[in-house]
């Protein structure tokens, strides 16, 4: 499961589409965590797709991650600023790859 303390335990190593990427990142095997308010651990995501289907405000978009060992697409929190904290994505992800912090 994603580390709920990732903001303390990881460093921001790059930006992607307006959100933080928390390392380590070593493509293509290690991709880190994308997002802050809605955070997806790309190294755990296996492209189940439930988060994209269920999010009522369409926070997620698929991105291509060729040659990653778990899956070759990931759910990217491209619109995390639109999140309404319903927590559906956290509940439906079968591998607990998502952390939403209502803060
Ligand atoms: Fe979407 Fe709700 Fe998840 Fe926010 S908590 S990203 S609104 S499903
Ligand atoms: Fe990935 Fe979980 Fe969504 S596996 S596609 S973050 S439901
Ligand atoms: Zn991203």
| Interval 50-73: pLDDT, tens | 999 999 999 999 999 999 999 999
Residue 103 pLDDT greater than 70, yes or no: no
With the most atoms of ligand 1 within 8 angstroms of its CB, the residue from 52, 60, 80, 86 to mutate is 86
- CA-nearest residue, atom 4 of ligand 2: 45
Å from CA of 10 to ligand 3 middle? 16
Nearest-10 Cα torsion for 87, 92, 95, 98: -20
What interface predicted TM-score (ipTM) does this complex get? 0.99
Task: Classify 6-100 by CATH class.
Answer: alpha beta
- pLDDT for residue 71: 98
- pLDDT for residue 1: 97
- pLDDT for residue 102: 79
Query: Per-domain residue ranges for the chain?
Result: 6-100
Question: With b meaning 16 or more CB within 10 Å and e meaning fewer, what string describes 38-73?
Answer: bbbbbbbbeeeeebbeebeeebbeebebeebebeee
């Amino acid at each position: 499961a994603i580390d709920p303390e990732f903001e303390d335990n990881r460093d921001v190593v790059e930006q992607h589409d307006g959100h933080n990427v928390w390392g380590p990142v070593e493509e293509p095997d290690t991709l880190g965590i994308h997002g802050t308010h809605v955070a997806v651990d790309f190294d755990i995501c296996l492209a189940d797709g439930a988060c994209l289907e269920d999010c009522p405000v369409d926070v997620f978009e698929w991105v291509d991650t060729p040659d990653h060992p778990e899956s070759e697409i990931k759910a990217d929190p491209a619109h995390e600023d639109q999140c309404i904290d319903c927590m559906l994505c956290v509940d439906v992800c079968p591998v607990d790859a998502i952390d939403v912090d209502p803060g």
